[in-house]
Amino acid sequence: QVQLVESGGGLVQAGGSLRLSCSASGVTFSIVAMAWFRQAPGKEREFVSSIIRHGGRTYYADSVKGQCTISINSGTNTVSLQMISLKPEDTAVYYCAATVYGGYDFEKAEAYNYWGLGTQVTVSS
């Protein structure tokens, strides 16, 4: 009932920046929180950041604090992730996620029931 489409990924040099966006459509009024996760080849999916739709409370993984900023526009149903000072270890497929459930740990993948197909971010050294 909720569809998510990511955009903004690409190739950047170390030290560069990117802004990822995720547009939600469908029964968007039911969304409680949205998030970004990433997964590098051979590694587990990793939490990056999340935001509560109403109120705007944010969460960040320790590894990206100071490097990433998440924001949401409830009117356009769009969540963005601004990334700066990118490093090769940031290379991964970045996934947008949304949940219609409250009362969960919004840093955990299992809290989310809708996922986009991902957008590739590659950081060269």
Distance from C-alpha of 95 to C-alpha of 118, rounded to nearest angstrom = 4
Distance from C-alpha of 47 to C-alpha of 44, rounded to nearest angstrom = 10
Structure tokens at 25: 């459509």
Structure tokens at 13: 């040099």
* Strand pairing category for 10-13 and 119-124: parallel
pLDDT string in tens for the chain (125-residue length):
999 999 999 999 999 999 999 999 999 999 999 999 999 999 999 999 999 999 889 999 999 999 999 999 988 899 999 999 999 999 999 999 999 999 889 999 999 999 999 999 999 99
Distance from C-alpha of 106 to C-alpha of 14, rounded to nearest angstrom = 29
Backbone φ and ψ of 92, nearest 5°: 180, 170
